[in-house]
Amino acid sequence: MESRSLFPASTGGAVRLQTLVLVRWLAVFGQALTILLVHFGFEFDLPLVPSLWVVAASAVLNIALFVFYPASARLGDTGAAAFFAFDLVQLSLLLYLTGGLGNPFYVLILVPVTISATILSLRSTVLLGILALTCATLLIFVHEPLPWSDEGLVLPEIYVFGDWVALVLGMAFLGIYAWRVAAEARRMSDALAATQSALAREQQLSALGALAAAAAHELGTPLGTISLVAKELTNELPPDSPLGQDAALLLQQARRCRDILARFARRPEAEEGGEAFAFPLLTALVEAAMAPHQRAGVKIVLNVQPGEGHPIVRRNPAIIHGLGNLIENAVDFAKSKVEVAISWTDRDIRIDVQDDGPGFNVDILSALGDPYTTSRREAGGMGLGVFIAKTLLEQTGARVDFANRLSGGAGVAILWPRAILERAGDAKTASIG
């Protein structure tokens, strides 16, 4: 079983260098403006030259990055972490020159760690947090006096310690919160991309028939010409001559190719009774979802509980793929049997997929359907596949519920309002004969 920890595993991602450089320029201008305003505007005696040199170091680094790297360059996890580490050290030097933790701008130490938690890996974020904690601790004991008056302002030790505690707690809270939110967003984005890819594959398979029909139509004309020439050669050459026999064989094979292409070119719904392919009975749609997952050792049983008017629905790749995924997972964990039950009333249509396996893990039963959630007591299966299946089925108007059976094994219930599902099939119904 795959557990979900407080910090989900993540390798981080590439960050565009231009974005980080732009944010640093904002910091450079803000720091320079604040230093000049406090020194000349409020007439506090700051160590002006050293402070401006520290700010200039950030500006010089930004200029170097602009010169040596293209605007489209991206930083990996390690490079971005080094970028933020420099910002932490630079800010700490400014705070050292201007009062340490007595300077109200000490809260800006939180910024690099919080940003790191949203875009970098857990390892990089933890290392940056340790660096920030070290800098904040050193600033308690080593710093220039706060330039408040000629004698300087000496804050009580308990107050400075309170600032340190507030900084540490804020760093921990914001870091954990930002990491969790960003990790969930990344997981959901990856899972939705996988869902779209799966549905796109199903749609490509559905479009393959139309492509075959188009190809058959295009090949029909040259094949007809070949048949005509072969027929003329057959009529003109003696039947017992080698060329006559070859011409007859060519005509026979050309007619066979025309028959094959004709079958490809025919649309199923255009044939007598072919509408069942485009608008199958609900049971036929379920059988299409079951067919690819038959395997030795596990028996898949279809149980139909007939009601009034057998529903007819449009053949839907989302339903076939979503239901097929749930059946496949049930087969993976079943001991010997998977039962697919279909029932309907005049208001609802219901499909149940049940197996005789170990069942779902009760600890995370309520989280089933979330991306990358492993739900069985044994290893493998039921992670992203269940999320994809649930998402596809819910897009067709279904409600999907997961539960463990009292008799043992897992059960998945899929429920549609009948009006929604039959509207996809032009509201057609058929009675059971």
Exposed, middle or buried by CB within 10 Å (0-12, 13-18, 19+), for 373? buried
Residue scoring higher pLDDT (34 or 234): 34
Let me know: does 312 contact 422? Beta carbons within 8 Å: yes
Tell me: the pLDDT tens digits for 98-157?
888 888 888 899 988 888 888 888 888 899 999 999 999 999 888 888 777 666 567 788
Q: Which amino acid is at 230?
A: A
Pairing of strands 15-16, 74-75: antiparallel
Q: What is the percent of the chain where pLDDT is above 70?
A: 77
What is the reported pLDDT for 196? 66
How far is residue 87's CA from residue 182's CA, in Å, rounded to a whole number?
A: 22
Tell me: the pLDDT tens digits for 122-131?
888 899 999 9
Residue 93 has pLDDT above 90, yes or no: yes
Per-residue three-class SS string for the chain: CCCCCCCCCCCCCCEEHHHHHHHHHHHHHHHHHHHHHHHHHCCCCCCHHHHHHHHHHHHHHHHHHHHHCCCCCEECHHHHHHHHHHHHHHHHHHHHHCCHHHCHHHHHHHHHHHHHHHHCCHHHHHHHHHHHHHHHHHHHHCCCCECCCCCCECCCHHHHHHHHHHHHHHHHHHHHHHHHHHHHHHHHHHHHHHHHHHHHHHHHHHHHHHHHHHHHHHHHHHHHHHHHHHHHHHHHCCCCCHHHHHHHHHHHHHHHHHHHHHHHHCCHHHCCCCHHHHCCEHHHHHHHHHHHHCECCEEEEEEEECCCCEEECCCCHHHHHHHHHHHHHHHHHCCCEEEEEEEECCCEEEEEEEECCCCECHHHHHHECECCCCCECCCCCCCHHHHHHHHHHHHCCCEEEEEECCCCCEEEEEEEEHHHHHHCCCCCEECCC
How far is residue 417's CA from residue 279's CA, in Å, rounded to a whole number?
A: 18
| Apex 135 CA angle, 134 and 141, nearest 5 | 95
Exposed, middle or buried by CB within 10 Å (0-12, 13-18, 19+), for 114? buried
Tell me: the pLDDT tens digits for 157-187?
888 888 889 888 988 888 888 888 877 777 7
How far is residue 342's CA from residue 418's CA, in Å, rounded to a whole number?
A: 13
Residue 271 has pLDDT above 90, yes or no: no
Lowest pLDDT segment from 204-208, 286-290, 421-425 = 204-208
How far is residue 169's CA from residue 224's CA, in Å, rounded to a whole number?
A: 82
What is the reported pLDDT for 90? 94
Tell me: the pLDDT tens digits for 379-406?
444 456 787 788 888 888 889 999 898 8
How far is residue 376's CA from residue 318's CA, in Å, rounded to a whole number?
A: 24
